[in-house]
Amino acid sequence: MQGAQPIILGISGSERAGGNTDLALEYAGRLVHERGAEFRTIHLRDHRISPCSPCGDCNSRLTPCELRDDMPAIVERMKQADGIIYAAPVHGFGLAHLMQIFIERAGVGFLRFERPLANKVGGIIVTGRRYSEASVHNQLVDNLLLNRMILVGSGFPALLRNTGPEPRLQDTEGLEALERMVHRMLDMTLLLRRHQAATGEPVLPLDDRNERVARPPRELTPAVNTP
C-alpha cells in the first residue's frame, strides 16, 4: 500500500473470459492507468478456490481457514492494494457463484479476525441483463462495509446492462457511473495517502478491528468539543 503509485485491484467474479464483466474491469483499468495509478486484476476463475466445507466452525475458530487453496495468496494481494473493485455478473437473480464463494471464504475464513481491508477504498461493478442488479450491488456494499472499507459516493451505482449475447460495453449510462466511481475512488485514495504521509496516522483509527471484541472508548477531540 505504500508504493510509489496507488494500486487499485480489480477482482472479477465472471467465469467467462472476455465477457461483459471482464470488459467493464478492463475499462476501469484503463481509467486508472490514465490517472497514473497501477491497476491489477484477479480473475477468480483462474484460481483454485474451494467452497466452504461442512466444518461450520468459522464463527468460533480463532485461526484462519485451513482449506488449502489459493485464498491466502489472494487475500495477501488484497492487502497490498489501496483500493479494491469487486466486479461480478448477476446469475439467477443473485451474485454469480465464483464471487459468492470467494466472499464467503475470504470473509469468514480470513478477513474477520483483523479486518485488514479497513480504510481501503472500495468499488463495485455489477453486470447483468436487467434483473436484480441492484440487490447484488447491495450485497457487495454490505460486504465492503463489513470489512470497514471506505465507499465513496459517486452518483448512480455502476450497473452495466447488456441484453445481447455478445460481450459488449454498450450501456452509456452505466459506463458514466463506472467512470465517476473510478475517479472518485482514485481521488479518495490520493487523499488518504496524503493524510498518511503528512501525519503518519491512518485517516480513521484502526484499533477497532473486530466486531466480536468490545469497542475501544472514544473521546471527542477538544476542537470538536469547542462550540
Choice from 119, 127, 139, 154 touching ligand FMN (CB under 6 A): 127
Q: Which residue number, 46 or 201, has a Cβ lying nearer to ligand FMN?
A: 46
| Binding segment (CB under 6 A) for ligand FMN, from list 13-21, 26-34, 74-82, 103-111 | 13-21
Choice from 14, 143, 147, 154 touching ligand FMN (CB under 6 A): 14
Cβ at position 16, least distance to ligand FMN in Å = 4
Which residue sits closest to ligand FMN, CB atoms considered? 19
DSSP string, the chain: --SSS-EEEEEE--SSTTSHHHHHHHHHHHHHHHTT-EEEEEEGGGS--PPPPTT--TTT-SS-----SSHHHHHHHHHH-SEEEEEEEEETTEE-HHHHHHHHHHIIIIITTT-TTTT-EEEEEEEESSSSHHHHHHHHHHHHHHTTPEEPP-SS-EEEE--SSS-----HHHHHHHHHHHHHHHHHHHHHHHHHHHHSS-SS--S---TTSPPPP----HHHH--
Using rule CB under 6 A, residue 139 touches ligand FMN: no
Site for ligand FMN in 73-92 (CB under 6 A): 89-92
Site for ligand FMN in 166-185 (CB under 6 A): 167
Residues that bind ligand FMN (CB under 6 A): 14, 16, 19-21, 89-93, 127-133, 162, 167
